[in-house]
Structure 1
Amino acid sequence: MKESFLPKPLLFKEWKEHRWWILSAFLLMLYGPFSHLLTFVQQSRTGNSQAFILWNFLAPIVYKLQYSPAASGHPVSNAVISGDVAVSYFAPVVAMGLTIVLVSADRNKGSLWFTLSFPITRSSLLRVKLLLSATIVLTAFLLNFLLLAIVDHASGNPITFIALLEWLGKNLLISGVFMATGLACAAVIQAGLLTAFSAILITAFPWALGLSVVRSVPVSIGLSMHPSTHPGHAVSHGHLTTAQHLSTILRGLSPTSYFSPDVGFGGSFQNDKLILSVSAGHSMNFAVVIWFLFLTALFAFIGFRAYLAAPGENYSRWIQLEQIQPWYYFSLIGAGSFLIINAMTASNTHLSHTPYVLTLYWFILWAGFSLLAAWLQKYLQSRFSPS
């Protein structure tokens, strides 16, 4: 008999075993918008209520900033907002964590052999896990989007519907990259925390490479508030050098470059205009969207193939696929070398702004540590291996 695409027993098993992880991830992804809504409901509605909704609910979610009203009160409610929509760093990381838990929990608990003893295939098991994870993430983002749209309408539509759709699309795209990377890492790495750490290192590598070329590059955007008779605008940063352009491009290849912090910067009225700076990272153009879709497909393919090829039960080493183990250790040495170089040059202002020098130091230290590790491994093998 042909196997079902989504076997109901597998769905029930995944829900029964991992329901607390699933519910926790779902609530964490909804925490930000609903906590802002709860704060808005609990606070007294003084001054302009529409502006109060704008600054206490919409702006903290879409642009990840919090504005403390000046003595003159809230900005006018008939204002428009412009600037790149920020991506929440919290939800994509939670989505990645949920994927890692669902994919690796059976193996880490030693129960994978029992599951596979039934007439099911590994591909069916992985398909159920991934679809369950994707459904939870998509549902949470759609609820966030619905809540945003309702409150935006109640406050007089200060943020366009296209901007809200852009917020949803960017967050789903970045979450997809993180989930695919988490899948690839969870398929080959035994320990859960090490899997998450490795996935973050992989996604952040282009950002680290760009940072090592030029440490300080102005990528933040400006968020402007104007009366409705004046269009909003983003603050420009002028001409960039060749090295800064290269650094910006490399950082833009990393999904972590599009995260935005929760803390923002408030300003005061000057000439009927309020300008706030929000670290929304890079602007996401069509080429970046294609790049992230490619990364998602690539890591999903690697994860799927690795999950099918990895041993069912293997506690002798952290890395399931032996051929990947040397490359994994090599990448950890690279991450350590990057942290060391940045720590050694943190107080050197001249060196921090010298193009390509930090990258050169990084690779020299990377190569040196790698050669030392390889020599030490050979020495220990020859010293302690039985004759």
Structure 2
Amino acid sequence: MCKLSLFFFKGCFSNISAFMYRLLFLLFLCLLFVATGAESSHTNNWAVLISTSRFWFNYRHAANVLGIYRSVKRLGIPDSQIILMVADDYACNSRNLFPGTVFDNADRDMDLYGEDIEIDYKGYEVTVEAFVRLLTERVSENTPASKRLLTNEHSNILVYMTGHGGDGFIKFQDADELSSEDFADALEQMHQHKRYNEILFMVDTCQANSLYKKIYSPNIVAIGSSEIGTSSYSHHADSDIGVAVIDRFTFSNLEFLENRVDIKSKLTIQDLIDSYDPKEIRSTPGVQSTYTQKGLDEILITDFFGNVRDIELHSEPTKWILPDEQNDTFPNYSDSSFVSHSPSGLTKPMNRKNKGKSVPLRLHYCTFSEFCSATFFLFILILPFCLQFAFKMRR
């Protein structure tokens, strides 16, 4: 009888132990699902900004794209990860009363051109073919890195376009057209070749909303300035320059970005859309999303207009070198063990393994949610052992 009772107890304990390990496995899967669902695989940001128009009377389109260019740089995306395409050189146009400048406001308090600008495609380089090849990486092997979109499956990409368009197309320099079907197919090629994580597509043109209707690839939000059959309007003109200097839809976006968004902002795409006033824009903006697991109120503005911080913490004093320095002479930056930011143009501390190479720096944060997840995970791991110990003590 005692042997039978002991056998029964061992069998019950074995069943309980097996059950607990099954429960541990299920809880681990749930935790893994929650963690992967909550954390984005987004690790880098890129922007493709393009004005497709030529001729002086389209000055506002250059101002549109340069205004967006200024905003994404202010929020942290470096020129090395921005592809800027401008089809005409308005700053050097003979009609420009203010040579070497481009303004997006009649008060002319901010020169968008200035000295800190890098245009990657200009003049007749801005074509439909060049744009599609850029997106799909079907470029010549001799194409410099500055003219290539070097993205991967962890890249969030902002694509902004402005110019003249119609139902299902946008014109390039009044000579060619990019159709909504061709654009959608280019995005699908990017998806098939794992060239993006998420894309925000914004377009400011007449009948802009028709340009994203054919998009079928996942994780893309598209925002257009005007419905099919309606126009997109300029905001105001500068009497000295003699033409309109910005469009209403882009003006609304820049007003939101410049006045309400910084690198730590928690504002979402939905907040941006809610800020649109059709009476002020004089057209009806539209939006389309191909996300399946995210709502627009869960997608941060800074996921596209900002940049993943590229900083690392060091526990010891560090020495820095310029990227082009190949000798053993190091400037001394050892006044602090906490490196919150690196001096402009500097790379990770050099050693024998990475001498002369630029190595990305990254700041590793531990948020409250990550701390709770880690604690919960550790609790699940030790729970079966605690229960086994309790059963042994009862024996």
Does the alignment reach a TM-score above 0.5? no
Question: 1 or 2 for the larger relative contact order (CA 8 Å, sep ≥6)?
Answer: 1
User: What TM-score, normalized to structure 1?
Assistant: 0.25
- Rg larger for: 2
The normalised TM-score by structure 2 is 0.25
> Which has the larger strand fraction?
2
